[in-house]
Structures are given as structure tokens and as C-alpha cells.
Chain A
């Protein structure tokens, strides 16, 4: 029994090391579970631990790996190697020399503008500043603009339209037998759900610090929103962005997203969104924000098809294009052209100043 307990504790420890939410209570539950199973059966043992230690499908997969490795059935070549954060992401260092038209537009502009202009736009090329995120205020404003729709929940309200019988009876029984005084309720306002789909392919590298700030800021301001990043694949980073500190967030994103700076397949990413996140909840309450330059290696026709589906599932479709702000910007990207007919708001945002513009634009959302 004690050997079994050793194994179990070691597995719990390994699972925690692997990033599973193994709390003390869960470990205890896992140990308690041992009493009611046949521990000689390794599959039963595995399932009993797994059901107690994991909280999602992804966790299950991680646990299987931990378990197999513990019993020496896993070789590291299956593992795809350790997941390393991209150093660019963590340090915020940028490769400014990319030969991409859009970036050149913007970088040249930064050169020709006066020093003050450059400084204001520099936050784009600067690394993440942990002390003073310069976008905090404008993001709060953005969140506020997006933040109203009637909830299905009600709260006491003297001028509310509905009578709250429970409170009315409670109140009136105290000083009489007739319902003299009616308590009323009104529907609460709740925050609109934003689903943000952000392009992190190679062509967007120059905007990474700004994008990270925007995603982090919006997620913190509107907790119900969801954030996904895509290049050739899609990863949801909502949970990572909910972490308290930027450092933790960046580390977490680095661990989750292995396709950062990859190619671009906008159509496939939208497709995944259509089948997943956008299905949830009421379509009237969702604002879809796509942040991408529209440079795409995928199938352009698919972008149009998927956007048409997405359009039916959301209230408003906002496309933020970081290239849009540059003065010589024209819609050159084929993917962007395909997408234009479906977009409700096509907005510029590649730095804090442009984001102010965006916030003004959102008044109408």
C-alpha cells in the first residue's frame, strides 16, 4: 500500500509540475479513490487518478503523458520537445527589417515624422512596459463603449417595469394586509461579449507588443470576452490573459501557442471559430473583433464563406487592420479584399493614437 501511495503522490506531483491544477484537496481525493478501486489494474488506477486530477480535455491528454512517462512508457520523441516560449514574445524584441510592404509603409512614416510623433508611435516598437501600460485608459474606454446590453437577470429598481412579488409581499405584510407598496425590478445591463481573433502570423510580428497590450487590456476589462490567436492554427488564450501579471500571462501564452509567427490561414481560423466559440450564447450579444492584416496563405474563397457564417452568429463584425493607419495603405491583401463585404467596421489601430480613433468608431457598434 505504501508503494502505491508513493506512486500516487509522485504522480500528483508530476501532474502539478506539468501544469495541471492539482490542489491539496484533489490529491487527497485521488488517494481516497484508491480505496475503492482495484489498484492492480493499471487502467483503473489511471482513470481513477485522472478523473480526480484533471478539469478539461486538454488536461486529460497532459495527464496521460505524465502517467505514461511515470511508468516509463513514454519516450520524449513523442512529446514534440519541451514547449518553449518564443523569445521575441517574452523580451519584446522586434525584427524591424521584415520586407513586408505594410511594415515598410509604417516604418518609413515613423522615420519621416518629427521626434514627438515617433515617440508617440514608438510604443508599437517598444517592448512591453510592465510599469505603465500606456493603453490602459483607452482600453478601459473601449471596454466601456462595448459594455451595454440588457441582461436576463433582474435587480431591484424603483422605476422597474416588473413587479417583484416576493419583495412586495415581504414588505407589505409588515404593515398591513393589502399590497399598498409594490417593489419593482428591472433588467440589469450586462457586458457585451467580445470574441477577439488575433492574427499572430509572421507578417504581424511588428505589431506584437501592441496586440499583446490590447488583448491583455480588453480581457482584463471585459472578463466575459474570449481571446483567440491564430496563424495556421488557432489557440485560445483567454485563460492566459486572465492571469494577474503580465509576466505570467506572457509565459503562459508562450507555453500554449506554439505557432506564433507562423503562416496565415484566416479562413481556417474563422472556420474553427464558427464551429466553436461563436456557437455559444446568444448571437445578438456577441461582437466579433478580428485583428489581422489580411495577408493570407490560405484559400481566399474560404475567408468569404466563413465570414458569411460568422456574420450570422454575431451582432457586429469589427476588423482591425494594423496596416490601415499607414498613409499609403491600400487594400492590397487578397484576404482582406475577400473579407471587406462582410465587415461592419473596418478600423485602423497600430498604436495608442490609432486606438483612440477606434474607440470613437465603436460608438456606433
Chain B
């Protein structure tokens, strides 16, 4: 077991985290900065919950780029299992090795153990994160963990508390440098308590109008301040409507980029309707938008006609 020298994370104060996020154009509030700092101090994963498109995944990307380490991403889905998350044996090479051994007595002798050696192992995201040599830790993003089934959560427990993975044929791999782990969930279902207990929890809400304006300004260069203001105000109003899918920050950014591309200087009711598909992704929702008083919407109020 090789334990690398303890790596000192660069966030000695909460403000350092804030500076880092700001440098990567991510508008983070104090709670997120503090939670991030604690995650590094305590060596615990962060569980970020929130509606789709509020920037949960982005947190991991920013951290990876700030620490200049690889971002190892595991996108969850139902039926996710060990061979797609931990490791898989390279069967083609194994069979080739068996063929070679047929003509080579020396090879044949140790075949039984050689076939299950490290060189025949495909690393999958979790194992890759554990074996990341350092010195800076990898950022492991376990995205949309609520999409995976309960079995997978149970299986994450060992990894997230002990940072080790056992391959029966090879032994146990301990983390050289504990990865920085970010889990995200859209909260389509409740996660297991045991999993939550191992994590720091943070709910990311839709941004306030001011924050959204700042996000738009930072993320969409060239966007007119007044248009940014318009977009932020309309988004706020739209989120108060009971849509099937309320638009997130991601939609706001897409919309601002679309408007910029279309060379729109100022939002008009017709523009809102024409570009509705960027913001709303359900037919019923688009129809609902048509029933709203668009003039009022541009003023930041959502009322039916």
C-alpha cells in the first residue's frame, strides 16, 4: 500500500473557494463554497441535490479544472453494475493469451494467475478514481445517482467510506489519494440513508434574479446587460408557473445564447413565443406559455390572459 504524502488542498479559507469558483465563471453562493471547503477538510463526498439544470454537474467540472486534475465521470442509469463502474477483464486479450500459451510451455505454467493480472484489467470510472496516482486527487463525479437502482447505492457505500475496491483475483486497491467526490441527484427518488450519511448535503435552488443576471453576464459573453436583465426576469416569472418542467439555469443560458445568435436586442412577445422551444421542452408547457399574458411576463409577472 503506497500512501502518497498528504496533499494540502489550496482552500484554507472559504474565500479561497469563492475566488476559485469566480475565476472559472461559476457564480457560487457562500453555502456552496463552505460546503466545498468542508468536503476537502473532512474528506467527505458532497451530495448536491436540486432541480435539473441548476449547475450541479458544473461544480465538479469547475473543481477538476481548478485543481488541474482529471474529471472522472460516472453517469448513472438503471442496471449499472460492477463491470461498467469498477473494472472489467479484457476478454479478448485473455483469449489471445490462452492461444499464445498453447505453443509456449513457459507461458502455460503461470497462465492461471497471469490471466487475471493487472495488465488484463480495464479500469472503469470508480477504480480509475481510486487508482489515480496523485499528487492532486482526481475529481470523481457520480452524476444523477438517483437514476441508478438501489443495488448500486449499496455498492457505492464501501467505496465512499473506505475509498477502496476489492477485485477478488487481485486483491484490494486502496486510494492513493482520496478522490474528491461529487454526487448529484435530481431527486426523482429518495436516496438511501446510509449513502446520504456519508455525504455532505447541499440543496441547490434556482438562483435569485440578481444571481441569474450575474451568471448570464459571466457565461454568455457579448450579452447586452439589458437583455440579460430581461431574460433573468422572464425566467423568474416562468419558474413561478406550474409547468411540467420548470426551466433551469441551463435553459436560461441556452436561451440567452440563442437570442444573441438571432441578434435580438430586446425581448418582444413574438420572440418569446418563437424561441419557446429553447426554454420549455413539453408541448403542454409551450401551449401553456401561449395562454400567458406575454406583456406581463416581460415585466416579470406570470398571469393568464
Residues of chain A contacted by B14 (CB below 8 angstroms)? 37-38, 44
| B: contact size bracket | 35 or more
Q: Is the Cβ of A55 less than 8 Å from the Cβ of B30?
A: no
> How far is the CB of B95 from the nearest CB of chain A, in Å?
7
- Please report the C-alpha to C-alpha distance between residue A275 and residue B239 in the assembled complex, in whole angstroms: 14
Complex interface residues of chain B between 93 and 113 (CB less than 8 A to chain A): 94-95, 98-99, 101-102, 108, 111-112
Q: Is the Cβ of A57 less than 8 Å from the Cβ of B188?
A: no
Complex interface residues of chain A between 27 and 77 (CB less than 8 A to chain B): 29, 32-33, 35-38, 43-44, 47-48, 50-52, 54-57, 59-60
Count chain A residues whose beta carbon lies closer than 8 angstroms to a beta carbon of B: 49
Cβ-defined partner of A169 (8 Å) among B44, B94, B202: B94
**Residue of chain B at shortest CB distance from A54:** B201
Complex interface residues of chain A between 141 and 198 (CB less than 8 A to chain B): 151-153, 165-166, 169, 173-174, 177-179
A104 within 8 A of B: no
> How far is the CB of B150 from the nearest CB of chain A, in Å?
8
- Please report the C-alpha to C-alpha distance between residue A54 and residue B108 in the assembled complex, in whole angstroms: 57
Residues of chain B contacted by A316 (CB below 8 angstroms)? none
Residues of chain A contacted by B34 (CB below 8 angstroms)? 37, 44, 47-48, 51
A169 and B30 in contact, given A151-B79, A239-B190, A275-B244 (Cβ under 8 angstroms):
no
**Residue of chain B at shortest CB distance from A60:** B203
**Residue of chain A at shortest CB distance from B15:** A38
Complex interface residues of chain B between 194 and 234 (CB less than 8 A to chain A): 196-197, 200-203
Residues of chain B contacted by A357 (CB below 8 angstroms)? none
**Residue of chain B at shortest CB distance from A53:** B201
A274 within 8 A of B: yes
**Residue of chain B at shortest CB distance from A226:** B189
Residues of chain B contacted by A277 (CB below 8 angstroms)? 188-189
Of A18-26, A107-115, A330-338, the one with at least 4 CB within 8 A of chain B: A18-26
Residues of chain A contacted by B146 (CB below 8 angstroms)? 280
A152 and B197 in contact, given A33-B41, A275-B244, A279-B188 (Cβ under 8 angstroms):
no
Q: Is the Cβ of A281 less than 8 Å from the Cβ of B115?
A: no
B251 within 8 A of A: no
A23 and B197 in contact, given A57-B49, A173-B112, A177-B101 (Cβ under 8 angstroms):
yes
> How far is the CB of B179 from the nearest CB of chain A, in Å?
19
A280 and B188 in contact, given A37-B38, A55-B197, A55-B201 (Cβ under 8 angstroms):
yes
A177 and B102 in contact, given A152-B79, A169-B94, A309-B284 (Cβ under 8 angstroms):
yes
18 of the cross-chain contacts (CB-CB < 8 Å) are A21-B193, A33-B41, A38-B14, A47-B34, A51-B38, A55-B197, A55-B201, A56-B201, A57-B187, A152-B79, A153-B151, A169-B95, A169-B115, A174-B112, A178-B98, A179-B95, A279-B188, A280-B188
| A residues with CB within 8 A of B | 21, 23, 25-26, 29, 32-33, 35-38, 43-44, 47-48, 50-52, 54-57, 59-60, 151-153, 165-166, 169, 173-174, 177-179, 224, 226, 238-239, 271, 274-277, 279-282, 309
| B residues with CB within 8 A of A | 13-14, 30-31, 34-35, 37-38, 41-42, 44, 49, 78-79, 81, 83, 88-89, 91, 94-95, 98-99, 101-102, 108, 111-112, 115, 146-147, 149-151, 187-190, 193, 196-197, 200-203, 242, 244-245, 284
